[in-house]
Structure 1
Amino acid sequence: MTRERQDRILAHLARASDWVTASELADALGVTPRSVRTYLARLRTRAGADELVVSGPSGYRLDDDAYARFRRLERVVGTTETPRERSTRIIRDLLAESDGVDVFTLAERLHVSDSTIEADLAKIRPVVSAVDLQIVRAGSVVSISGAERDRRRLISRLFRDETAQARIDLDAVERAFASDSLSAFKTALLAELESRAYYVNDYGTDNVLLHIAIAVDRVAHDKRVPDDERPTRSEDFHGEEFPALLDGLVREHFGVALGRGDAEYLGYLLSTRAVAPGAPAEEQPDGGDDGRRRYLADEELARVRRITERAGAEYSVDLDDDDFNTRLALHVHNLLERASDRSFSRNPLTRSIKTSYPMIYELAVFIARELRDLSGVEIDDDEIAYIAMHVGAHLQQEARREDLEPVVLVCPNYYDLHRVLRARILATVGDAVTIEHVVTRSDVPWSALGVDLVLSTIEPPVPDESVLVVGPFFGDADAERVRRAVTRVRRGRRRSAIAQELLEYFSPALFVRNGYAGDEEAMIRQLGDLMIADGAIDDDYLVGVVERERMSSTAFTDSLAVPHAMAMSAKRTAIAIAVNEHSMPWGEARVNVVALIAFSADGRARFQPVFDQIVEVFSGREDVQRIIKGSVDFPSFIDELVHTMDA
């Protein structure tokens, strides 16, 4: 636990852009500041960590160069110094020895007492049983019993749990399995998949490569997947060529011959985790998707279309697109295949999608709930994030010209300089701005230009934050400044447009200072009771909030949870909020602010901007700390909120 908390401190400091106090770190971990100082002292004893964390009057921060060196060192140095690492070593030893391992031998190998090994065995039993394996005891000899496929699933789980950010590190896989051919194998595999017109999910591919490394290691030690453990595939399964393809590549790159059971299992993993069929160019004369549809049953595609139609109506977005629905249906097909094998895919982008694109994630949660209700399959956060990637990519492609920021260009006439500058701006930042008008005179009617952002080669007579002075030849630095200015203008416009509306949803009766509860559902009930008493919702709405929370945690940032129901059935739109000095656990996070949002049917159009605004306001660490410290009562909370939105 101590090592784990050291790593959590490092993760928190890595996300911070400035000094972090001991109190803030303590709150993030749910411990005391004294404990934080103890963890930091122990952290400095780890290899390469003596200069990692810089301390000062303002708190702590990471030394970036030292952190980079530390991460590189941790990747190449393996230890068994922590209880978690020792448990992993025990499991690996048991999996490697078919006849089991003597407890006393394990204790001697790991330089610990017999009683420590016995305690470790008790801790790992649930980990092993979670993948349908069992720890078997015969006197002092301990072994693991169960199917070979489940053994490999356990090895894969152990390895992923040791990696950061849910991402498979191929260099680490190569080191763990004493192989230097995995990268070349991946290159060859991707080339083969591209030649067969498959869409590739690179995150899923790396997950399959981990299983391939495990398979090569196990087969080399004569531990094969027997034929009776071959996966059961649906009738419309795609990728029949994968077993032979993988067998050939494994022979070429690793010198190992896979058996039929291994080849079919790895082919199954590749088809359900890493690829989706595309349509060869000759099959798409009109940009159609018949090449992909042939892998889908008509009902599969119809089911996804019904779901996206309901999602589009509920959230007022356009999801009526054949290509989008076909791709999503292929993904859902693979998702359900994975579910039948109890092997959901991890997604390293889950956290960033949830924090940066809360409404897209929310759309994905709605789609996941509909799929769950129809199929009976529970869908986890990582799989929801993959659905969000489909939704987000579609909505990005559907962005219209009006999404570009209109600007006026001021460039006094000098030959054709204004034309050259205009072309350069559009070539560089044309995905962010559209030039409405070019002013080529030096006597500029600054107050009558009619836009929120002006790009000008000359200074205005009076400083104006809406005027950004750019160079006449528009270099890379100018382009970066324009993008930052567009972000600032849009953020200010968005905030000013809904700030007053957002404030109208709060009331003294729905504000709680330091209102703690035992868990998420108790906190939801505490805030929900206030809303019920205030006439905003009824008990049925609160049931919907709890159901949504069970689908996926609503902790959208490091400090904020936004519980809500997916059905907009509140009697009126309102927000009940708890602002707490000390954090409480929420899912896998800890939060200081809980905002229970209730929307009525007539508030559907306002849901997205208000939801996004709440998440945005509480996404900045400094802003959150100021709101938490300053909100001693409802009036001061409103003051701090207004200050943050106006900043």
Structure 2
Amino acid sequence: MNKKVIQMVRYLQRDGAWVRGERLSAQFGVSTRQIRNYVSAANTSGCLISSSEKGYRLLDMNPSFRMLLDAEDNPESRLKRLLLVLLFSSEPEDIFTFSEQFYVSVPTMEADLQKLRRVLREYALEIVRERDLVWISGAEKNKRRLLCNYCYAEQRNEYLANRTSFFPQDAAKEISLRQAVREKLLEQGIFANDYSLGNIALYLAVSAERICAGFQVEASGQLMPDAFNRIDLAVTALAAYMSLHFSLSLSEAETQALREVLIQQVSLLDYTKISPDNLNEFVEEKYCAITREIMDQVKQFYHIECFDGDFYVRFTLHIRNIFTRQQGGFFTRRFLDDSLKVAYPIAHDISVFIAQILSKNYGAKISDDEVTCIAFHICSCVYDYSKNRISAVFIYESYYDFFRKTAEVVAQRFSEDLFIKHTVSISDYLPSVYHADLLISTVDAPLPEPCVLIHPFPQKQDFAAIQTQIKKIRQKKERDLVSKTFLSYFNRDFFLRSTQSDSHALIRQMCAQVIDQQYATEDFTQRVLLRETMADTAFGTVAMPHALSFSTLKSFLSVAICDPPILWGHSAKKVQLVILIGTNSKERRTFSRIMDLLIEVVSDAANVAELERCENYDAFIDRFFSMLLED
């Protein structure tokens, strides 16, 4: 596309109002006739520019054109735009023409294509090149999955809201595609959460765009399960909707593909009507047994006791859905990005542990996307569990039962920060029996510290005093954990600045160091690499490889600073800091907090940038320690 077309659209976008043709002509040094040609070219490439006696005004543009506007300054947008051009090209594209269109050199374009190859590999697609011609080879279903998950994921809501910019023949109608999907499903008694509704709506919009461009899903020849009659009716209703509002007739292969998407995304059971008491009426006992076995192992392995009856209902339904989908050869699609892995690493690690059980004991195929969905369920419980609440003993002077109201008020007021472990009268209190992080007393008597004396009917200053003590206790716990446990995991022998270009080679090098020092057994390397194949451990510019089991001989943290950055695993993230984690089984109770502390430091890009500049072990530890203790 002519560069001045892009510049003109950018100019109209910045102005936002009507701009006369003469002004555009003077701005870009061309005739008004040429301006009309530019407008025509923009409108046929995804823009909606209105023309009148007032001049020209930009009304809308699709995500593809918006990516093109950003491509000059943003390499990631250029990659997505390049990918979109290849996906929507009916013929092979010339790499030299590409370099001219994107205003980059041929070597830069070659590098971009190499990056795209790594992205496409996750979707069973590949870039084929013959001399100067390139194209994308692979199944149409996988191309649509790529469009939904990679190209349009961040712009999903905008894409659906501005769907009419892709289908100008329907531009006068304002139809909510998501709402239409919801209605058609509910008509058949089918249930889908908001994530799934978004996925289905996006798939339909992308399919419409692809079909309009002349691309059809190939017939798969896959046998479909017979237990989805209601889904068949929903598919028929959605196909009729597409025909009415998009003027598209779905082929048999297209309807089968839509059916597969619904099987992956929806449920035939209304979970709001299911409770722990009636779960067996809705779900076969074998799935209840699988859930119990999995969660028993999780509790035994991670020492986490936070999974209530409601969780078991939701998770049993999810386990059932996993096996139901896989009976038909279908797999879930990701509805969350890596932010959950970064924010709650213990939930993600438990999910990988569960995936291993499902794979090993039941032959289930658990993808990265499925691990993310499992993590979402786990996080619903671990989130509350990991709030790091402190324990308290409430001490009172017995006078009828007035103390109960005071204890309830304190418990409710600080429910996010503490839990009352014991409620005991001053006459019955024994420090050796009733111990906790904090004493809260309505009795002015000599008591062990830390202790807060409050009024029997607490005032504002009493609540402030309790909050102050909570803060002090947390800070002390943090410092104790850092000084006594966390920093003892580091070892100057396990610090290196690496120039490795292969992530697995670096893992082997770091594992060899700890094995040689008898911190881990010979099979440690294999177990760490196995964990990486399940779901790589990179997020942002940091990777934290570890084995799935707590079975090292000693606990340790091994550090590698990568210069230059290393492409990590199948995600191909550019990683600059690698922390290899080994935890002994006797210390697995502290593993969750250790992970939290690590994440608090390395999730901050500024912290990582500082740590990368550390030339030696002492400088790294000094800076890391100060980061841990910063408020």
Instruction: State the SS of the aligned residue for 2:520.
Output: coil
Letter of the aligned partner of 2:223 in structure 1? T
How far has the Cα of 1:583 moved from its partner? 4.1
Q: Does 1:603 align with 2:587?
A: yes
Structure 1's 345 and 537: CA in aligned 2 closer, same or farther, altered over 3 A? same
Post-superposition Cα deviations, 1:273-327, rounded to whole Å, max 9, x if no partner, equal: 244632473xx47742246416xxx555544443333333222224585424412
Q: Does 1:365 align with 2:348?
A: no
Q: Of residues 561, 575, 595 in structure 1, which corresponds to 2:543?
A: 561
Q: Does 1:639 align with 2:628?
A: no
How far has the Cα of 1:329 moved from its partner? 0.7
Structure 1's 643 and 170: CA in aligned 2 closer, same or farther, altered over 3 A? same
Post-superposition Cα deviations, 1:89-127, rounded to whole Å, max 9, x if no partner, equal: 5435445xxxx68989x99996999x99x9899989998
Q: How does 1:139-178 map to 2 (within 5 A)?
A: 150-158=139-147, 160-163=149-152, 165=154, 169-171=158-160, 174=163, 177-178=166-167
Q: How does 1:335-414 map to 2 (within 5 A)?
A: 336=326, 340-341=329-330, 344-348=332-336, 350-374=337-361, 379-396=366-383, 399=385, 403=389
Partner of residue 527, structure 2: 544
Q: Does 1:91 align with 2:73?
A: no
Contact 1:137 1:143 (C-alpha < 8 Å) held by counterparts: yes
Contact 1:163 1:169 (C-alpha < 8 Å) held by counterparts: no
Partner of residue 197, structure 2: 205
Partner of residue 574, structure 2: 590
Post-superposition Cα deviations, 1:44-91, rounded to whole Å, max 9, x if no partner, equal: 999869xxxxxxxxxxxxxxxxxxxxxx99957363867646644543
State how far apart, in whole Å, the 2-side matches of 1:128 and 1:532 are: 36
Q: Does 1:266 align with 2:249?
A: no
Q: How does 1:49-448 map to 2 (within 5 A)?
A: 75=63, 77=66, 79=68, 84=79, 87-88=82-83, 90-95=85-90, 150-158=139-147, 160-163=149-152, 165=154, 169-171=158-160, 174=163, 177-178=166-167, 184-191=176-183, 193=185, 198-217=190-209, 229=220, 232-237=223-228, 239-251=231-243, 253-254=245-246, 256=248, 258-275=250-267, 277-279=269-271, 281=273, 284=274, 287-290=277-280, 292-293=282-283, 299-318=286-305, 322-333=312-323, 336=326, 340-341=329-330, 344-348=332-336, 350-374=337-361, 379-396=366-383, 399=385, 403=389, 430-432=415-417
How far has the Cα of 1:389 moved from its partner? 0.5
Structure 1's 362 and 400: CA in aligned 2 closer, same or farther, altered over 3 A? closer
Letter of the aligned partner of 2:554 in structure 1? R
Normalised by the length of structure 1, the TM-score is 0.64
Structure 1's 120 and 592: CA in aligned 2 closer, same or farther, altered over 3 A? closer
How far has the Cα of 1:500 moved from its partner? 0.8
Contact 1:560 1:615 (C-alpha < 8 Å) held by counterparts: no
Normalised by the length of structure 2, the TM-score is 0.65
State how far apart, in whole Å, the 2-side matches of 1:154 and 1:630 are: 43
Contact 2:566 2:576 (C-alpha < 8 Å) held by counterparts: yes
Instruction: State the SS of the aligned residue for 1:200.
Output: coil
Query: Which consecutive residues of structure 1, in runs of 5 or more, have no partner in the other structure?
Result: 1-43, 50-71, 410-418, 439-449, 456-464
How far has the Cα of 1:570 moved from its partner? 1.9
Letter of the aligned partner of 1:345 in structure 2? R
Structure 1's 87 and 610: CA in aligned 2 closer, same or farther, altered over 3 A? closer
Contact 1:514 1:580 (C-alpha < 8 Å) held by counterparts: yes
Partner of residue 571, structure 1: 553
State how far apart, in whole Å, the 2-side matches of 1:94 and 1:402 are: 54
State how far apart, in whole Å, the 2-side matches of 1:344 and 1:362 are: 19
Partner of residue 597, structure 2: 613
**What is the percentage of aligned positions where both structures have the same residue?**
21
Structure 1's 433 and 522: CA in aligned 2 closer, same or farther, altered over 3 A? same
How far has the Cα of 1:543 moved from its partner? 1.1
Contact 1:408 1:435 (C-alpha < 8 Å) held by counterparts: yes
Partner of residue 49, structure 2: none
Contact 1:631 1:640 (C-alpha < 8 Å) held by counterparts: no
Letter of the aligned partner of 2:597 in structure 1? Q
Q: Name whichever of 232-241 and 324-333 sits farther off.
A: 232-241
Matched positions, count: 537
How far has the Cα of 1:357 moved from its partner? 0.6
Letter of the aligned partner of 2:200 in structure 1? V
Contact 2:497 2:562 (C-alpha < 8 Å) held by counterparts: yes
CA RMSD of aligned residues (A): 5.7
Structure 1's 45 and 252: CA in aligned 2 closer, same or farther, altered over 3 A? closer
Structure 1's 452 and 166: CA in aligned 2 closer, same or farther, altered over 3 A? farther
Contact 2:560 2:579 (C-alpha < 8 Å) held by counterparts: yes
Contact 1:225 1:261 (C-alpha < 8 Å) held by counterparts: yes
Contact 1:131 1:154 (C-alpha < 8 Å) held by counterparts: yes
Instruction: State the SS of the aligned residue for 1:77.
Output: helix
How far has the Cα of 1:548 moved from its partner? 0.9
Post-superposition Cα deviations, 1:236-279, rounded to whole Å, max 9, x if no partner, equal: 55734422342354456545554554334313312212446324
How far has the Cα of 1:520 moved from its partner? 1.9
Structure 1's 627 and 225: CA in aligned 2 closer, same or farther, altered over 3 A? closer
State how far apart, in whole Å, the 2-side matches of 1:589 and 1:137 are: 24
Contact 2:388 2:417 (C-alpha < 8 Å) held by counterparts: no
How far has the Cα of 1:606 moved from its partner? 3.0
Q: Name whichever of 314-323 and 205-214 sits farther off.
A: 314-323
Q: Does 1:503 align with 2:487?
A: yes
Contact 2:192 2:265 (C-alpha < 8 Å) held by counterparts: no
Instruction: State the SS of the aligned residue for 2:346.
Output: helix
Contact 2:393 2:420 (C-alpha < 8 Å) held by counterparts: yes
State how far apart, in whole Å, the 2-side matches of 1:257 and 1:482 are: 67
Instruction: State the SS of the aligned residue for 1:512.
Output: strand
How far has the Cα of 1:364 moved from its partner? 0.6
Contact 1:93 1:101 (C-alpha < 8 Å) held by counterparts: no
Structure 1's 388 and 436: CA in aligned 2 closer, same or farther, altered over 3 A? closer
Structure 1's 110 and 575: CA in aligned 2 closer, same or farther, altered over 3 A? closer
Query: Which consecutive residues of structure 2, in runs of 5 or more, have no partner in the other structure?
Result: 1-9, 16-59, 73-77, 396-403, 424-434, 441-449, 453-457
Letter of the aligned partner of 1:393 in structure 2? S
How far has the Cα of 1:628 moved from its partner? 4.4
How far has the Cα of 1:366 moved from its partner? 1.2
Post-superposition Cα deviations, 1:173-208, rounded to whole Å, max 9, x if no partner, equal: 615632666862312332454576655343333222
Contact 2:389 2:419 (C-alpha < 8 Å) held by counterparts: no
Post-superposition Cα deviations, 1:317-350, rounded to whole Å, max 9, x if no partner, equal: 2458542441231342366368x35x651333x3
Letter of the aligned partner of 2:495 in structure 1? V
Q: Does 1:529 align with 2:520?
A: no
State how far apart, in whole Å, the 2-side matches of 1:424 and 1:487 are: 19
Instruction: State the SS of the aligned residue for 1:550.
Output: helix
Structure 1's 544 and 407: CA in aligned 2 closer, same or farther, altered over 3 A? same
